[in-house]
Amino acid sequence: MSKIKVGIIGAGSISESHMNSYQNNPNAEIVAICDLKEERAKAAAQKYGAKQTYTDYNELLANPEVEAVSICTWNNTHAEISIAAIKAGKHVLVEKPLCRSVEEALEIQKTVRDSKKLLQVGFVRRYDPNIGLLQSFIEKDEFGELYYAKASILRRLGNPGGWFADKERSGGGPLIDIGVHVIDLCWYMLGRPKVKSVTGNVYHKLGNRSNVKHLSFYQAADYDASKNTVEDLANALIRFENGASLMVDVSFSLHAKQDESAVKIFGTKGGFEIDPALIIVTEKNDVMMNIEPQIDNKGFNFAAAFQNEIDQFILNIENNREPISPVEDGLELMKILTAIYESAEKGVEIQL
């Protein structure tokens, strides 16, 4: 079988994880790379052996050799590039979040449904090996009815600046950037129940804390602290039609003692924690048990999850198979995220 020929659109930080994983996949070959910054595209092409580089994604999409693309650009371009790519006859792996609004998501969904191409959303947390492990427990009904989920990703100093801090290009702050990962993960593990209502709060209190000295933090490829129009902190309570609920809080800036990452899901027969480390909780013989699975990686394995996401994308193309993170789920997440912002703005609960 010939290799699937891939184009990369956006050659910044996260594209490295895509390109490394394609390079490790014997059935994929990176043939073209596009970035607004020519030198960035050229440097990546040299490293990964791509023949063509572009600064205009339309030119990459016009290359008939390219069969599939990874879209690793700013969030404000995801909809436009996904739609153009599908219309150009390419399969698409688009980074999270799918886009910035429900309207954009509906347009992408329509384009995908009208085509014979597949679109996979980069909800990379779903592809972590520990998620497969937990799903095998869920399938055996080890936890009973899962009815409550709680997720926190609190950075006390972690506004990446640049486009991430520009609401026009990002669509929002920690909620749309890191909240999307854990909201999606919890919703996926709860069995993707239909959302009933959303209540949220969003705060712009501390700014990006770029004044802080003696402590380093992740910065975007084009770091710029001068502009910041996104929230510092968001929290939300999401109610589902089956009675389950999800409570979440996420921040870029907060007067917290330390950073925190926690994802916990609770059921009638047991529960589990995914972050910071996998642990299973249950009751046996009238005794409460905290069970620590003996596994290679107790926490999120970023490299393995990315490899699995890319491997699944290639397999889905080869076998004409629906991804486990389809466009419909990208749309559902956009409904949740935009409802949280709307609830915060209006100060009321939003019914979906």
Binding site for ligand NAD (CB under 6 A): 9-15, 34-37, 40, 57, 72-75, 77, 95-96, 122, 124, 163, 177, 220-222
- Between 172 and 193, name the residue whose CB sits nearer to ligand NAD: 172
Instruction: Give whichever of 74 and 240 is closer to ligand NAD, judged by the CB atom.
Output: 74
CB of 352 to ligand NAD, least distance (A): 23
CB of 268: closest distance to ligand NAD in angstroms? 32
* Closer of 57 and 272 to ligand NAD (Cβ): 57
Complex with ligand NAD: residue 8 or 190, whichever CB lies closer: 8
| Coil, strand or helix at 3 | coil
| Shortest Cβ 125–ligand NAD spacing (Å) | 8
Q: Closer to ligand NAD at the Cβ: 7 or 271?
A: 7
Nearer to ligand NAD, 263 or 350 (CB): 263
Rounded least distance, CB 94 to ligand NAD, Å: 8
Q: Which of 141, 108, 100 is nearest to 267 (CA)?
A: 141
Q: Which is nearer to ligand NAD, 15 or 343 (CB)?
A: 15
HSE at residue 103, side-chain half, CA atoms within 13 A, is 2
Q: Which residue is nearest to ligand NAD (CB)?
A: 12
Specify the residue, 190 or 310, whose C-beta has the smaller distance to ligand NAD.
310
Torsion angles phi and psi, residue 63, rounded to 5: -75, 115
Tell me the backbone φ, ψ of residue 264, rounded to 5 degrees: -135, 140
Q: State how beta strands 287-291 and 279-284 pair.
A: antiparallel
- Shortest gap between Cβ of 124 and ligand NAD (angstroms)? 4
To ligand NAD, the closest distance from the beta carbon of 58 in angstroms equals 9
Residues 6+ apart with CB under 8 A from 119: 82, 86, 91, 92, 93, 94, 108, 112, 323, 326, 327, 330
Minimum CB separation of residue 238 from ligand NAD in Å reads: 21
In sequence order, which residues have a C-beta less than 8 Å from that of residue 116 and are 6 or more positions away?
none
The CA-to-CA distance between both ends of the chain, in Å, stands at 46
- Contact present, 142 and 205 (Cβ < 8 Å): no
CA atoms within 13 A on the CB side of 344: 20
**Two tokens at 186?**
């919890």
Nearest-CA neighbor of 49 among 67, 72, 31?
A: 31
Report the alpha-carbon distance of residue 275 to residue 293 in Å, rounded: 14
The letter for the amino acid at 8 is: I
**Minimum Å distance from CB 127 to ligand NAD?**
10
